[in-house]
Chains A and B, each alone.
Chain A
Amino acid sequence: MLGSILIVDDDASLRGLVVRILRSRGHTVIGEAGSVAEALTCAEGLHPDVALIDIGLPDGDGFLLTRRLLARPWPMRVVLFSSDADRANIAAALRAGAIGFLPKDELSSPALQRLIEDRTDADK
């Protein structure tokens, strides 16, 4: 089965749209968070396999959250996204330990699908 996913974005409206997209692709979204703090709490309780995290968050940023989530003793994959398509985000995301970065308007593309699934398959 496809892994469980946590969505982190401070814009609830956009978060809802991403949840719909992922679900339409057959993924299981097990939680939503609007801040670093909420995300950490959620992850603690839900142990998602994958976290999709917006870089801009009100109480920190996606890179910081990535590092803190990956410091947990269970395995997790992180994909970072942002409405800012700056290519520098790709390298920064990889440095933080994420498996990839996508601009927000590419979230419906097969690229996201591949990122989540490939890694999921590899772990199986």
Chain B
Amino acid sequence: MIIGRAVRSLRSVWATTRAVSDMHDVARGQAALRRVTSIAAAGEPPETVFGAVTAEASAWLGGALIALTKYEGEGTESVVVAQTGGHVPLGARLHLTGDGVAARMWRSGRAERIDDYTRIAGPPLATDLGVRAVVAVPVTVDGNLWGALSVSSSLRPLPAGTEDRLALFAEIVAAVVVSAAARESVRALADEQAALLRVAALVARRAGETEIFEAVAVQAASLIYDEPTTLVRYEGGRTFTVLAHHNGPAPVGTKVTVPVGDAGTLDELLRTLKPARLDRYDTVADRSYSNRDYGVGSSVSVPIIVSGRLWGALGTLNEGRRLPTRTEERLGKFAELIASALANVEARGELERFAARQAALRQVAELVARGAALDEVFEAVAREASNVLAKSAANLFRYDGGCATAIATCRSPIPVGFQAAADAEPVGVREMHARQPLRFSAQATGSAAQDRDEVVIAVPVIVEGQLWGELSSTAPRVPSPAGAEHRLAEFAELAAAAIANAENKEKLRASRKRVVATADETRQRLQRDVHDGAQQRLVQTVLTLKLGLEAAARGENTAGLMREALDHAERATVELRDIVHGILPVSLARGGLSAGIDSLVVAATIPVDLDLTPQPLERLPGDVEVTAYFVVAEALTNVVKHAGATRARVTVAGGPDQLMIKVADDGAGGADPRGGTGLTGLLDRVEALNGTLMLTSTAGAGTTIRVTLPLPVPRSQ
């Protein structure tokens, strides 16, 4: 459009200022402009178009010396972009220090003419170049003076109207500059899109964090001509961690804490949350180390803001060259676009780690729940704990007397079965008695990890209130294994649950075995008692009566035999009664618990105070009565047999939901709760009813046995 207007203007210029005889010249001018415009329209590079502009203008103006220059440095310099006739070198940088058309145009913004340079004070550049007269027209792009198109003559002033002719070509130059800038900006946009797409593709296919961070650094670098680029995450407390870099100076994992008032770009970025630039580090007194240690010359940092919060930053620096003007703009734009993707990656990473932990815990928990063998559970605990702790070494130790024994290990230099004397270990076992997680330097342990910079993290395994052992992990000090104590503790709890399960199962099995053995024993004793006692007496009764019948048949006196038979029968009756009483006292069976305990108290060989308040009024469930009865019977038997007591007290108190039985004596005390099968048998009975048994026996202070038995809750009325 601009070019079309130039051609139309050409017509009007000639129509008003030239005679009709000059129509031939107009036609040449039109042809020259058409050739240039067609080159520009073909999208040739600007340099080609500029070359064509100067060549065509020169030809049209009869082989004149034409130059296209571009202002730089706020009008202090002028760079030769294109020229004809070799009158100035291409690329030459002209310092606009004195008077001249270029300097005048920079001030006026309009076309300028100097007809005789020799009259200008102070010999300017033009005279050095052998130029006498110059006419220059401005090339204005977007309202700004971009450069100048000029024609020079070494002999005489240039004819009037030269300005108008040159202006036609200047318009074309301006149009080409505008379209080149537009193309450049489109390409920049395309680059940004491509960079963003590459990162987005990684995020979409759920690549690892490391890979994505690295891609961000590489793609950001690609937008700023591959300058060294670093991606950092803000950890709070003015500390940044290097996540990835492209030719950056600091390795991944490096932590940098920015001092308050530090004049660097990160300091500025922390204050403003906006892109920051520093071109001359060597001029900042406190930042000379940046230059010395990292070779920082010029630096740009842009913030990555997620949900209004500083997530991290993208930074670039070089060794001293000034970074290009648009660096912060391009990096900043990329940072904005990439922010939410990075936040997602991080959130996803956290979610995935959480899910992995849950899966690992679930796997072990399932083993525990289905009562897998302890070995299998221990192995899974070590394996999954190691997995969750970034595949660090994991060890499960059991404390046993003075020893800590490795029960299960994973990725560990410690073999299963390895034993360490608990005292020999300088840190760990002893401290573990405090039952708190521990973290200490691997050096302190004197372990195989001695030479490496590692930490040992240990948590106690506590089984039903007792310190059973420890679960520990050895991990590199950097990066610091955050939350490792908590992760280990979760597995330690599962191990403890498995151990408690197994122990309880074993207890139950032993208790059942004892119950069966006791039942068998009772049956055998009963069989023996009946067989050896009452049955013998009854056999004798039968035999004696048979003899009596025989005697009667013979007409003899049978009174003696009758008496003898009666005697046997009576003895059989007594023995049967005793046996029955041994099975379950009749008083208990008929009269309930209070009657049963009464009979025990009456039969006791030392004085027994009986306290049945509040009286269990009615009959209790049979199993509760029998158990309570045997508790009192066994306790009183022990008092008489072992305690050396002079008096005992039996207390039975019935509550709404439980029965409490207490038997205390004033004997020697100091009874061993583990001793005696009688007490174990009682415990089995009590536990079978979900009751509790507690023995207190302090030397010199007598013995007290307390039993509580739960009572079924009566149905609501």
Residues of A within 8 A of B (CB): 10-11, 13-14, 17-18, 20-21, 24, 56, 83-84, 104-105, 107-109
Contact = CB atoms under 8 A, between A and B. Distances in A.
A17 B535 contact: no
A105 B539 contact: yes
Given A14-B536, A83-B536, A105 B543 contact: yes
Contacts of A104: 539, 543
Given A11-B536, A14-B536, A83-B536, A56 B531 contact: yes
Contact of B540 (A14, A24, A84, A109): A14
A17 B531 CA distance: 18
A108 B536 contact: no
B430 to A, nearest CB: 59
Contacts of B543: 17-18, 21, 104-105, 107-108
12 contacts: A14-B536, A14-B539, A17-B543, A17-B544, A18-B543, A21-B543, A24-B547, A56-B532, A83-B531, A83-B535, A104-B543, A108-B547
Interface of B: 531-532, 535-536, 539-540, 542-544, 546-547, 550
A51 B540 CA distance: 20
A68 B550 CA distance: 36
B253 to A, nearest CB: 84
A24 B536 CA distance: 21
Given A56-B531, A83-B535, A17 B540 contact: yes
Contacts of B531: 56, 83-84
A18 B539 CA distance: 11
Given A13-B540, A14-B540, A83-B539, A21 B547 contact: yes
A27 to B, nearest CB: 15
A17 B546 CA distance: 12
Contacts of A11: 532, 536
B541 to A, nearest CB: 9
B529 to A, nearest CB: 13
A52 to B, nearest CB: 13
Contacts of A17: 540, 543-544
A105 B542 contact: yes
Given A14-B539, A17-B540, A21-B543, A108 B550 contact: yes
B93 to A, nearest CB: 129
Contacts of A10: 532
Nearest to B530: A83
Given A14-B536, A109-B546, 11 more contacts: A11-B532, A17-B544, A20-B547, A21-B547, A83-B535, A83-B536, A83-B539, A104-B539, A105-B543, A108-B546, A108-B547
Contacts of B536: 11, 13-14, 83
A84 B528 CA distance: 12
A88 to B, nearest CB: 16
The 4 closest A-B pairs by CB, nearest first: A105-B542, A104-B539, A108-B546, A83-B539
Q: Which of A11, A21, A83 has the most CB of B within 10 A?
A: A83
B568 to A, nearest CB: 8
Contacts of A56: 531-532
Nearest to B571: A13
Contacts of A13: 536, 540
Contacts of A20: 547
